[in-house]
Amino acid sequence: MRSPVHGIRVHIIRNTTMTKENLIFLDIETGGFSKKKNGICEIAIIITDGDLKEICSDQWIVKPYERCPSVQEQLGQLVSYNPEAMAVNGISMEEIENGCEAKQVACSIWAYLNKYGGKVVGHNAKSFDGPWIEEFLLRFAYVFKLEVIDTLLIAKENKTNYENHKLATLLSHYGINNDQSHRAMGDTRATMELYRCLTSN
């Protein structure tokens, strides 16, 4: 089916009711490291039940939006995109300019969070993706405190002697393929498989 908000095909696997066991796998790509000055370029989510059976997924490339008012050098100043950050994710400014309106993306994410509930799962999500999404939602008056499960922290608590705890390293260790590295949906799906490996008995 097509989302009425942003015209991207939403992949619905099966119907479900909201339960506390649902998990929301999430990844973002950004134009830098400042939540208040730089913009989110891309967001992807995959929602599963407690058995990691996929319920639905969605993704957005986000149009430029206003900076946090406290760091605007002039009224209405838009978020910026660092060329070095953009080189990593490979998203062009043309794609961003033709993306989805940020307010509509925030509304869609808010709707998913409220409909399905559950904790957000991501790699380095406690210090990066989670705070960025909270800041993004707040920019459009959606107040939501995320409960986050961080696969990076799970890996650090694991007794396995990994070379390091970067996503790519852990994926290689577990033989998980990610042919869309540093793109939101590729990293989200890979993180879901990593979480499955890290939490299996």
Per-residue pLDDT reduced to its tens digit, 141-194: 998 889 999 999 999 999 899 999 999 999 999 999 999 999 999 999 999 999
What is the total count of domains within the chain?
1
Q: Which residues pair with 78 in a beta bridge?
A: 66
Strands (E) across 31-152 are located at 40-48, 54-61, 119-122, 148-150
On whether residue 143 sits in a domain, the answer given is: yes
> Helix (H, G, I), strand (E, B), or coil: what is residue 92?
coil
* 6 domain residue, yes or no: no
Domain containing residue 177: CATH number: 3.30.420.10
pLDDT, tens digit (0-9, with 9 covering 90-100), for 116-140: 988 999 999 999 999 999 999 999 9
- Measure the CA–CA gap between 77 and 183, rounded to whole angstroms: 26
Query: How far is residue 42's CA from residue 6's CA, in Å, rounded to a whole number?
Result: 13
Q: Is 189 inside a domain boundary? A: yes
In a domain, 5, yes or no: no
8 A C-beta contact, residue 196 and residue 52: yes
